[in-house]
Every structure is written in C-alpha cells, then in structure tokens.
Structure 1
Amino acid sequence: MATSLRTTLKFTTTTLHHRRYSAASILNPDSRAALSSKEKSRAALTLLKSESDPTRILQICKAASLTPESHLDRIAYSKAISKLKSLNQTPKIRSFLQESATRPDLKSERAVAHFIVLYGQAGMVDEAVKTFEEMEGIPRTEKTLNSLLFACVLGKDYAKMKRVFVEFPKRYDLVPNLDTYNTVIKGFCESGSSSSVYSILDEMRRENVKPNAETFGNCITGFYKEGKYEDVGKMLVMMNEYNMAPGISTYNIRIQSLCKLKKSGEAKALLDGILSRGLKANRVTYGHLILGFCREGNLEEAKSMFRKMVNSGLKPDAECYFTMVYYLCQGRDFEAALKIYKRCLDDGWVPNFSTMKSLVEGLASIEKVDEAREVIAQVKEKISRNVEKWNEIEEALPKDVSG
C-alpha cells in the first residue's frame, strides 16, 4: 500500500514547463538531438514509470545516455533496475550495467560505485563483488568499499557483507570510516543480529571513529525491531557518554519503531514527554504517529494527531495527506476524507487513482453525489491519465438524488 500511496504527481509551473515536449520524443533520434540532458532525463523517468517491456526499458535508458553524475539520472537508473528486477530480467540487468561500465564517459570512481550499488539493488551481490574486485584504471577507495557494503545490505546478503567488511579493508589497504561502520551496523540490525553492533562500536572506539546520530539511530531501530528495549536504553546512555543529546531525529526513530510494533499509544506518550521538555516535534514526528494510529484502526487518534500537527504550524507532506485519505476511506469516514483531500488539493497534490476512486464511490454511498462529481472534475483537470475510467465512474453515479 505504501508504494501505491507514493504514486502521485505534484503540479507546478516547472513541471508543466518540462512537459512542453512529448516524453516519447526521446526515442526519436531527430527529436532527441534537440533536447537538453535534463529534458532527456525527465523524459526517461516519465516513460520508465509506465513501461513494462524489458527491451523498451533498455532503449529508454540508452536514448537518455544516463550518467550517475546526474541526480535525475541516478533516479532513472534505479527505476530501470527495479522494473527489470520485477520482470526477472537478470541477464538484461547484467548486460546493461556491463555495457554502461564500458562507456568512456563513465570511467570514474563515482560511476563504478553507483553500478556496484545497482547490482545490490538488483539482488546480484556476486556481480557487485566482482565489479569491485575487477576495477581497472580506477583506484579502489573507501567510497567504493562502502558502496559494496551497501550493495550487500540492499541485496540482503548479510553474510557477504560481513565477509567484505572483515577481509577487504586488509586485502586492499583501505581504512574503514564512519560510513563504513554505519553501513555494517545497518546490515546487522536489518538481519536480526543487532547485538553484533556492540563489537562494531568497540572497534570504532579503538580506531577513534566517533559515532554520529545515524550510528545510534540504526542501533536503536534494530533493537526496537527485536524487542530489546534494555539495549535501546543502553544506546541512549552511550549517546550521553559521547556528549550527544538525542535530537528530534533520534526521537522520530523511536516513535516510528514503536508505531511499527503497533505501540502507537506508547509513541504518543513519548511525544508528550518531548513536548513537555521543550523540544519541538516536526511533521515527520506526526507523520509516523498518524500512520501508526491509522494502521491500528484508531482513526480518531489519527485525526487528533493531524489537527495537532496543523495547529502547531506544521504543513503536512504529500505522504501524510495520502495516508489520511486512504485510511479514512477504508474506515468509511468519507466526510473527513473529503476535508483532508481538499487541503491536499490546495497544496497541489492528488492521491492516486484507487484512493480517489474509493473516496468518490464512498461519497456517492452516503448520498453526496454532487461532491463526488466535483472531486471527479478536479482530478480530471489535474491529471490527464485515467480520464476514460473517471468518465465511466461518473456515468455510474446516481443521476438524481433530490427528494
């Protein structure tokens, strides 16, 4: 559900400016020549979102001449790999990344590091290790080592992550840094081996590498996940030993962890304690609590958290809006969902099709057909996709609810 909630568009002048061309023009050599690199990247992203043909996915990437030096292109690379992985196209992923690595303009440490990560994203950890081991003309550095460790974590090959961490620094004369340790700690915590972080923290102390908020955040997340609450307390004590007062980011991790454990009531109590000590919560804090209460079916508490956030002067983000509309519709509180949707629309966001369909049909079910028609008109105005589906839904609405 979380993934579907994120499937949305925000409408701004900039977005419209970049859509003055047809995204498909990137596949036409004559039209492609007239596009800037940024326009090619945007076109590629637009096409990749809806493409499911493996051959076409590769054609789009090649037409855009993607490069890891560009933020947009890194997103496009990731999108393409995710699509190909979901289609079980391991050979195509391998040939695509191998071909990319041979491009003269991609012979850089940054490019290789990114390809290593992409192999991990594809679940091809052995290929990631091989790429690291066979680097030619580009020196292996802590950056590429950290990319390999991250690839192992992405690919959920925690045994290989541990082997790389233990063996490769010595083999290639590399010195683990803070990012190295944080990645390994993250891997241990994700794999259910959070107790192993103590040995990593001891090594960091010996090597004079000071932990940061991310270090302890990963540890705390892992201990909560395994229900090791005493260890959470130990991490907070250790933070104090390093003169690190827990900030809102640390509390957000604790609140999110409790909500994932369906302990949103405890998370709310933690928030109350934060506020009583004068520390300000942010919209991330409230977002975790709202999602937590929604998942537990406590919509009244979720609405209360939403009001408290807004009254605190904090602006909800798109995900928060979508969460509220989705779960309120699931709970058949369509009037409340409509109010949240209107705020969402005012801020330039529209939830995805399935959520909006639930809202429209829900409004019709409680005899608010005019409101349902108004919502359909707004969505059709904002998003050109699914117009025919919306026409069908509108046609199916009751024609006359008067009397």
Structure 2
Amino acid sequence: MHFLSRLVHRFSTVATSTSNVGSISTDLYKEKDLKRLVDKFKRYSDLERFRTKTGIYKETVRRLANAKRFRWIEEILEHQKQYKDVSKEGFSVRLVALYGQAGMFDNAHRVFKEMRERNCKQTILSFNALLGACVNSRKFDMVDGLFSDLPKKLGIEPDQVSYNTVVKAYCEMGSLDSAIMLLDDMEKKGVEPDRITFNTLLHAFYMNGRFGAAEMIWERMANRNITPDIRSYNAKLYGLAMEKRTKEAVELVEEMRYKTIKPDVFSFNALIKGFVNEGKLEEAKWWYDEIEKSDCAINKGTFTILVPLVCEKGDLDFAFELCKKIFGRRCLVDEELLQLVLDSLVKESKIEEAKELVELSKTNDYCRYNLKFSSNE
C-alpha cells in the first residue's frame, strides 16, 4: 500500500511537471477547501518553475492567514526547506517575508537564523526582510534593537528601505516625533528619503490630527523636489476632513485634477467624511454620486462613513438602497452597520424593507450576517 501511494505521488508529480504554471495558479485559486489547498501547494512545490512564482506564495499565505490557519502556513513554508533553493538568499528571504506577512515573527526570525547555519549569505536584503517581518507582525518593541544592533553584526549599513520600514513602525506606534528624528538621522547619514518616506509620515501626521506638522512635512517634501502623488493628496484630504475644512478639501481635489492626478475612491471617501463630520448629508450624498459617475469602485469605507449619518438624518430609503448596493457589490461590511439600518427601519415602521434586509443578509452567497429582527406587528 505504501509503495502504491508513492507510485501515485510520483505519477501526479510527473503529470504536474508538464502542466502550465498558470493553470496551477488557477487550480489553487479556485480550491475552496483549505486543507486540499495546502496539500496541492506542497505537491506543486516539487516543480522548480512553481517555486519561482512569488505571487502564488503570497496569495496562498494570505488566504490561510485570513482563515487563521497558521499551522498550515507553517506546514507549507517549512516544507520549502527541503529544496536546494533554500541555500539561496532570495528564497530564504521570501520565507522570512511570508512569515512576516502572516504575523508569525518567531518563525521568520528562526528562518533568518537558520540561514547562517546553511552558510547562506545575509546581505541588506535579508536584514530588510527581517525588519519588515518584525513590523508586519507588530513586534514594535523589537524594532529598535534589530535596527541598531543587527547591521553591525552583518557588516552592513541600513539603506532607504530599512529607514522607511522603521519610520513606518514609529508611525504605527504613534511615536511621531521619533519618526521625524529618524528622518533627520536618515538625511545626516546620506540616505535619501523618497516618496514612500514622506507619504508614510504625511498619513500618520494628518490622521493623528497634527495638521500643522504635516504641512511642514509637505513643504520638506517639496524642497526635495519630490512630487506628491495620489497617496500624498489623499492623506491631506483626510487631514482636512478631520479639521472640518471641507471647502479646502474640495479645492484640493480641483488642484489634483489640474495636475492630472485622478481622484480615487479614497479621495472621494475623504470628502464624504469631511461633510459627514460637518453633518452635511446632501453634500456627502453629492460626492457619493461622484464616485458612481467615476470609474472608481465604492468600497467598505464609503458605506462605513456614510450610513450612520444617513440613518441619523432619517433618510431611510437611501439607507436601504445603500444596503442593497452593499449586497449587490459583494462588499464585506461590519454587521453592526447593517444592524443600525435594520433598527432604524423597524423604529420607523418600515417593516417590509426591514424583512427584505434580513432576507438579503441571510441569502447572499459570499457572507452570512446574523441580523436580529423583531417588529411590533
């Protein structure tokens, strides 16, 4: 029986080797059973061409991480260590990054340490992968130690990617002053900050209500002749929305269009948020319609920002239409948002719409919501 199973496995491997990697990717994408996905992934890993496809690895780890199947992530990534590729820095770095993507820093760190045992070189590439895994795993308390100590041990100097990673860490920690000090240090060391550096800082400062400091960062960016992109402008739009400066936000969108920077859904969402913060429903609805007229796709953020004000203002016909749009667009929103609409409908005795909303929440084919409906009929 053991011999037969080995023979079947060998046959399937040989058969697979003649397959197109694109069809393999499709097969994995369509596989809904995660255990079968893991088994197939391990089998396909025998193919050298398959092991070069970073995108397939990222997507599979993403799916397993979303399902919180961390043991299976470990299973497919540890499986990779049997291949000779693991002695190459690039392949090991990929494993470090994938563990980081899944928030599994201890595993990422172990792979990094094992590189030395395999006499696999460790350059700035390895260092940046480990630093990135640390930040992605939100192990912020370890970032300073890695950044200050490890380069000396490896005989390397942190580069632009290294600094950007630590700037991101400080921003996510809320240590914004430390992030600015690191920017200063970066420049002193002769490492050029780039658009990624400034966009990370702009987003953090605007979103944390430090508008004045964010404007100084914007000016500093301009002094370096770094042209703002859509992410830069979106950060400023959200800052203006939080400051309830919607007139300036609208003017900024016009400036974007003049500079041929096309607003995206996040730009529109920022404007909607600004008018929602000011309690101006009609203006918020106008910008919602602008998304519909553009080629942008309405997303979860659009509904999350808009629905509460719509319910508060009692525009329940529009609230109900928004819910139908959520289901029609297969948009995953928090259940509390739909429950808010349901409660508002019941309160205003719109029982038929409430019943339809409950039915929609139970019968859609991509997510089931457990809305609680009770009427006074």
The Cα shift of 1:62 comes to: 1.9
Residue of structure 2 equivalent to 1:125? 105
SS at match of 2:141: helix
Assess if the C-alpha contact under 8 Å between 1:108 and 1:138 holds in 2. yes
Which amino acid in structure 1 is aligned with residue 164 of structure 2? N
For residues 95 and 339 of structure 1, what CA distance do their matches in structure 2 show? 42
For residues 214 and 203 of structure 1, what CA distance do their matches in structure 2 show? 16
Q: Pick the aligned partner of 1:282 from 248, 255, 263.
A: 263
Q: Pick the aligned partner of 1:172 from 154, 178, 181.
A: 154
Q: Pick the aligned partner of 1:221 from 203, 206, 209.
A: 203
Q: Taking structure 1 as reference, are residues 212 and 325 closer, same or farther at Cα in structure 2, changes over 3 Å only? A: closer
SS at match of 2:53: coil
Which amino acid in structure 1 is aligned with residue 84 of structure 2? P
Give the stretch that moved more between structures: 94-103 or 276-285: 276-285
Q: Pick the aligned partner of 1:244 from 198, 219, 226.
A: 226
1:110 is aligned to 2:94: no
Q: Taking structure 1 as reference, are residues 203 and 223 closer, same or farther at Cα in structure 2, changes over 3 Å only? A: same
Residue of structure 2 equivalent to 1:62? 42
Residue of structure 2 equivalent to 1:265? 244
Summarize the alignment of residues 324-335 of structure 1 with structure 2, pairs less than 5 Å apart: 327=307, 331=311, 333-335=316-318
The Cα shift of 1:215 comes to: 0.6
For residues 156 and 137 of structure 2, what CA distance do their matches in structure 1 show? 23
Q: Pick the aligned partner of 2:143 from 161, 168, 172.
A: 161
The Cα shift of 1:246 comes to: 3.5
1:193 is aligned to 2:175: yes
CA displacement 1:39-65 (0-9 Å, x = unmatched): 2223323335x64xxx55532432443
Q: Any gaps of 5 or more consecutive residues in structure 2?
A: 1-10, 369-377
Q: Pick the aligned partner of 2:55 from 71, 75, 85.
A: 71
CA RMSD after TM alignment: 4.5
Residue of structure 1 equivalent to 2:133? 151
SS at match of 1:75: helix
Residue of structure 2 equivalent to 1:316? 296
Which amino acid in structure 1 is aligned with residue 23 of structure 2? E
Assess if the C-alpha contact under 8 Å between 1:158 and 1:191 holds in 2. yes
Residue of structure 2 equivalent to 1:81? 65
1:44 is aligned to 2:23: no
The Cα shift of 1:132 comes to: 1.7
Assess if the C-alpha contact under 8 Å between 1:293 and 1:301 holds in 2. yes
CA displacement 1:127-179 (0-9 Å, x = unmatched): 32232232135322222221111111111111212211111222112232211
> TM (normalized to structure 1)?
0.67
Residue of structure 2 equivalent to 1:6? none
Count of aligned pairs between the two proteins: 340
Residue of structure 1 equivalent to 2:4? none
The Cα shift of 1:282 comes to: 0.8
The Cα shift of 1:191 comes to: 0.9
For residues 239 and 43 of structure 2, what CA distance do their matches in structure 1 show? 42
The Cα shift of 1:182 comes to: 0.8
The Cα shift of 1:303 comes to: 1.7
1:231 is aligned to 2:248: no
Q: Taking structure 1 as reference, are residues 157 and 335 closer, same or farther at Cα in structure 2, changes over 3 Å only? A: closer
The Cα shift of 1:302 comes to: 2.9
CA displacement 1:82-119 (0-9 Å, x = unmatched): 43xx25x45x5444422223323555433322211222
Summarize the alignment of residues 332-347 of structure 1 with structure 2, pairs less than 5 Å apart: 333-335=316-318, 338=321
Residue of structure 2 equivalent to 1:18? none
Q: Any gaps of 5 or more consecutive residues in structure 1?
A: 1-27, 390-403
Which amino acid in structure 2 is aligned with residue 40 of structure 1? I
For residues 230 and 247 of structure 2, what CA distance do their matches in structure 1 show? 14
For residues 199 and 119 of structure 1, what CA distance do their matches in structure 2 show? 30
Assess if the C-alpha contact under 8 Å between 2:42 and 2:79 holds in 1. no
Which amino acid in structure 1 is aligned with residue 126 of structure 2? T
CA displacement 1:214-272 (0-9 Å, x = unmatched): 1111112222344333321321231132133534431212223565xxx2733563332
CA displacement 1:174-200 (0-9 Å, x = unmatched): 232211111110011101111112332
Q: Taking structure 1 as reference, are residues 132 and 276 closer, same or farther at Cα in structure 2, changes over 3 Å only? A: closer
Q: Sequence identity, in percent?
A: 22
Residue of structure 1 equivalent to 2:188? 206
Assess if the C-alpha contact under 8 Å between 2:97 and 2:133 holds in 1. yes
Assess if the C-alpha contact under 8 Å between 1:81 and 1:118 holds in 2. no
